[in-house]
Amino acid sequence: METKQRLAIIQQQINETCKKIGRNPEDITLIAVTKSVSSKRAQTLVDLGVKDLGENRLEGLLDKQENIQEKVNWHFIGNLQTRKVKELIHKIDCLHSLDRMSLVKEVNKRASEPLKCFVQINVSGEESKSGITPEEADTFFEQLAEYENVHVIGLMTMAPNTEDESEIRSVFRSLREVRDKITAKQLPYAPCTQLSMGMSNDFMIAIEEGATHIRVGTALVGSESEEDE
């Protein structure tokens, strides 16, 4: 399937889901997760009008940036090692995986201006997933006050790998509830109005539960073994 066709399908699904629940599709940021495909495939998406690309490895990000000259919003969506912050910090527009205080301190130290960040919440409680627990959120956000280069625009989570739609929906709904509690505090350094949740298999559920940023990989970019026809 051509990249153009895949993009059209995703956009139609976004539009239909938003129409069903009374949301504006323009309020949804589609992030193309290009970690598994070449710069050429990523360039095709950019040429089709996609302006937000997501990578989970520093090397992949740098390779894409070297080959894509157009203005793109770069999102880092993977687990970030503290030692790599200094190499990455000035290369991205948004970090989706702020998950520990040591990372907060390093980002604050290395950034020359406030960086947009999502705090990663491990809603499902799975040991394989990074992130603070929902119960730790209040304390974590209080501690953020002293770090002026960390600007938290929202929360991020990943749903469990399951076919159980009710379980997936519950995770997304729980993240929204944590977000609402933080937003109510009206913290100037952490407005926390956004929700980064939903991937290829569950982004429509995520939109129904309030996602503002969806991270779509395979369903949008395909795999490198597939060639555009």
pLDDT tens digits for range 3-37: 999 999 999 999 999 999 999 999 999 999 999 99
The values of phi and psi at residue 11, to 5°, are: -65, -35
Provide the CB-side half-sphere exposure for 208 (13 A, CA).
14
Q: What does pTM read for this prediction? A: 0.95
Amino acid at 202: D
Q: What is the pLDDT of residues 86-130, one digit of tens each?
A: 999 999 999 999 999 999 999 999 999 999 999 999 998 888 788
44-82 pLDDT per residue, tens: 999 999 999 999 999 999 999 999 999 999 999 999 999
Rounded to 10 deg, the angle between the 58-67 and 39-47 helix axes is 60
Kindly tell me if the per-residue pLDDT of 225 is higher than 80: no
Terminal-residue alpha carbon distance, the chain: 7
